[in-house]
Amino acid sequence: MTDDYTDYEVDFFQAVDRNTTAEQSIFDALMSIRDDQYYTLFEIEAEHTCGWARVQVFPERAGTLYRCMKCGMAGIIGG
- The pLDDT-based confidence of 79 (bands split at 50, 70, 90) is low
pLDDT tens digits, 12-29: 999 899 889 988 888 888
pTM given for the model: 0.75
Residue 46 CB: number of other CB atoms within 10 A?
A: 20
**How many CB atoms are closer than 10 A to CB 43?**
10
User: Given this model, what pLDDT does residue 3 score?
Assistant: 72
3-state helix, strand, coil in the chain (%, to 5): 35, 35, 35
